[in-house]
Each structure stands twice: as structure tokens, then as C-alpha cells.
Structure 1
Amino acid sequence: MWRRAVTESKACQLWRLIATRGAATGSGKQGSNPASSTAVVDSLLLRSLKEHYLEVSKMNPPPKVNPPSPFTIIKGALDSNGPVLKRTYGKEEISIFVMRLANIIRGEGDDPEEDGINQLFLHVDVSKPGQENSLQFLCGLYPDALGIHSVSMRPKVDSSADAVAPSKYNGPVFEDLDEKMRDAFHSFVEERGVNESLFPFLQAWLYVKDHRNLLRWFKSVGSFVKEK
């Protein structure tokens, strides 16, 4: 059920270069005055933060991609840690949370330079009216495949904290299920539109979110350092 796809992305490489680039080097000799020394260090850091901010702000976002119908984008998702997409299926409500798989599961020898942009981690929440619990899937999403990590019954979620790191496990190890049941679960989520067709939108959406968060981080750190 799994196929790993690796697609080189120049934008992604530039992004990592900026995100991991060291601060500017080459400071003068420190004086005996601690206040003067601090001012020099702070000035160097503020200059580096400003340079990185301007560099990132000039990066072109990916082409706009709409989610596959009938999924809709949840208002304010870019500025929250909640679900990104939702849809109805009969009486069910399907909510999708997303993160980069490299941020959750990284095996020894994995190369984030290759795979980080092409592996997404989905939390799929299937709920029904009047039910206290929902059926929740933790999945890996690739450009050409979707694989299920686990299936559990849990209280309905309203934040990504429980979505990405559940503290309670309510089901068997997915790989321990027989092949027929695993295939049936894959058919269950695919029938509800959860498949590789979501990848282009979610990949672009995460790029925009990461871009926004990085700019916000440069500004907030700079404001903190500059505050006297």
C-alpha cells in the first residue's frame, strides 16, 4: 500500500538554505564595557534577522491550488493549529489536520533534504452527530499514495495537540490486522475522498503556512531583542 515518492524542489532547497543559514560572522573585539559589547552583539543579530526576513519575504509562493471538491478550507486555518479541511459525507463530518511527516516520524538514515517536502502526516477525524467519540485515522500522505498508520476510537477533537500526539491508544497496531481488514479501512477513507488527490493542495498550504510562520518568527525575535 506504500510507495515513496521523491521530487526535488528548488523552492524547498532555497527554503532550507534560508532556514538553516547561520548568523552573520565577523564581529570586532569586545570592549571592556558590557553594555557596549551587548549593543554590538544585538546589532549583529538584528541585522541578520532583518536580512533573512527580507530574503524570505521575496520568495514567490507556489501557484494557488484549490482542495479537491467537496472539501473546503476552514476559515483561519493558516493562523491556528486546528483542522485545515472539512467536508460532509452523508451525516458524517470529515476533518483533516496536516503536518510534515518528517516532523513526526524520522527513521535512522532518512534524508530530510530529499523527502521532507513530499511526506505529509494526516490526522483524519470522522464524526457523527450524537456520538461522543469519532473514528480517527493517522495517515502518511505522498504524491501518489496514502498509507494508514493507525485507527482508533477517541473523543472528538478540536485541536491538533491530540491529533498529532494522542496520549491514549484505543486500537490494535494497524500492521497487525489482516490484509483484508487493512484494505477495507483504506477503502473506507478513500470513499470519503481522503487520498493522494489531497496532496497538491496540502503541500502548497503547508508551504504558505511555513512561510508566514517564519516571517512572524523573524519579526517577533527582532522585536524582543530590540526592546530595552
Structure 2
Amino acid sequence: MLRKTIAAIAGGCAHQPWSRISQRHSSVVSSAVNSMLLRSLKEHYLEVSKMAPPPKVNPPAEFTIVKGALDSNGPVLTRCYKNEEISISVMRLANIVSDEGDNDNDDGGINQLFVHIDVSKPGMDDSMHFLCGLYPDALGIHSVALRPKSSTDGFVIVPNKYTGPLFEVLDETTRDAFHNYIEERGINDSLFPFLQAWLYVKDHRNLMRWFQSVGKFVNGREIAKATDAAVAGSSESKVAKGA
């Protein structure tokens, strides 16, 4: 009797589409999660799109804005000084030096900038690179190095030879001379207002682009799933008709 009862239960279970129910449940949950994520991304995108841009600021007259700089990681400003070509790249100083105790969030939290200055001369294989911290009222040099000229868009170059001593170990006279060297070429805190505004616009654009890209990715996967399901359903229908 017991064996017959077990066999009957097993036979009944064999006819239950548990795998299909599980798949449908998983699909419903996945769709709900994706819909929630897409809704959140859209809300944040709209919120960010309503943020007012900073007032328009022009760079010092001797500098030219590099075309397409907002969409690259390369130089932002360039200028010629005598026979030299000078280019400037910028990013948040907080991206390089983490300071957990820094609570200065004014102006969108962009009050400390990391600036890379490249000074090159025709006919010379190397160019002089200055890595500096730029503030609203000051500019400080972190390092000075001679490195091969780079033709890439990025401004972070990995050196393959000795690049010089740490800037802070140089004597005060030499440090002051280097500061005067870049000051003579227009590299000072007068660059801060423009670079601060420019970086705000770049961050804003990148954030909006990120919300769009992630949303398209999530939505694209949903479209792909729906397409696969439709193709599978069509195939099953054709098989059934053929049978």
C-alpha cells in the first residue's frame, strides 16, 4: 500500500511543470528588479540634468582650450611661450591624495586640483613635467621630471628611467627657482577659476552619461531576453505545427 501511495505521488509530480514555474518566477523577479533600477536611474538622471551649470569662466588670455577636452583625459589648456609648447591637464586632487578629514565641500567639493604641466621644446626628445596642487589662492609643485614626449591622450605617464629627486628634498633656492620658472609661463592660481568650472562641467557630463549608459545596458539586456523568448516561442510553434 505504501509503495502504491509513493508511486502515485511521484507520478503526480512528474506532470507538474515545476521547472517552468521556477523559470517564470525568476523572470518576473528579474524584470521587477530591472524596472526598479531603470526607474531609479531615470530619476537621478533627470535630477542631475536640472542642476544649474557654474557661471561661464574664461581661461587666462594667453591660453587656448583644447578642442574635445571634455570627452578625453588629455590636456585642457595649451599655449605657446617663445619656442615652447605648454599643455595643462587637470583632475581632482582628492582622486590622487585621499584625505578622510577634509570636509571642505564648497563649490561642489572641487577646491583642490591636481594639475599636470608639460613643457616641450622643438628638437628635444624629452619634455619637462610638473605635477602640482592648485588651490584658489596658491599653486604648489609636487614633482619635476624630464620624460619622453608623449603622443597619447592620457597625461599619466609611467617613467622608465630615473626622473629626478623628490621636490621637497631640493634646497629652498632651487624650489623657488622652479616656481618662478612656471610662474613666468603663466602657471599660477589665476588658472583655478577656469579649471574648477571646467572640471565641474566634465564631472556633470560624465555623471549624466553614466546614468544613460547603465540604463541602456540594463534595458538592452531586457530587450535581448524578450527577443530570445520570442524566437524560442516561434521555434516551438513551428515545431508543434510540423508535428
Return the TM-score normalized by structure 1: 0.82
**2:46 paired residue among 46, 51, 54:** 54
What amino acid maps onto 1:45 in structure 2? L
Paired position in structure 1 for 2:117: 124
Instruction: Tell me which moved more, 165-174 or 110-119.
Output: 110-119
Taking the aligned partners of 1:187 and 1:116, their CA distance within structure 2 comes to 29
- Contact persistence 2:79–2:85 (CA under 8 A): yes
What amino acid maps onto 1:193 in structure 2? G
Paired position in structure 1 for 2:202: 209
Matched, 1:63 2:59: no
Paired position in structure 1 for 2:35: 43
Taking the aligned partners of 1:40 and 1:103, their CA distance within structure 2 comes to 36
After superposing on structure 2, the runs of 4+ consecutive aligned residues of structure 1 that deviate more than 2 Å are 107-116, 157-161, 163-169
Return the TM-score normalized by structure 2: 0.77
Between 1 and 2, higher relative CO (CA 8 Å, sep ≥ 6) is seen in 1
Task: After TM superposition, give the deviation of residue 117 of structure 1 in Å.
Answer: 1.1
Paired position in structure 1 for 2:166: 173
Query: Residues 105 and 164 from structure 1, CA distance in 2 versus in 1: closer, same or farther, beyond 3 angstroms?
Result: farther
Gaps of 5+ in 1: 1-30
Task: After TM superposition, give the deviation of residue 108 of structure 1 in Å.
Answer: 5.0
Taking the aligned partners of 1:151 and 1:84, their CA distance within structure 2 comes to 20
CA deviations over 1:73-126 (Å, ceiling 9, x no partner): 001101111100000000000000100000011145334646941000000000
Sequence identity percentage: 68
Paired position in structure 1 for 2:233: none
Gaps of 5+ in 2: 1-22, 225-243
Higher helix share: 2
Structure with higher Rg: it is: 2
2:110 alignment partner, SS class: helix
Paired position in structure 2 for 1:13: none
Taking the aligned partners of 1:90 and 1:140, their CA distance within structure 2 comes to 25
- Contact persistence 1:82–1:158 (CA under 8 A): no
Paired position in structure 2 for 1:28: none
**1:106 paired residue among 98, 102, 114:** 98
Instruction: Tell me which moved more, 100-109 or 196-205.
Output: 100-109
Paired position in structure 1 for 2:25: 33
Taking the aligned partners of 1:121 and 1:165, their CA distance within structure 2 comes to 15
2:119 alignment partner, SS class: strand
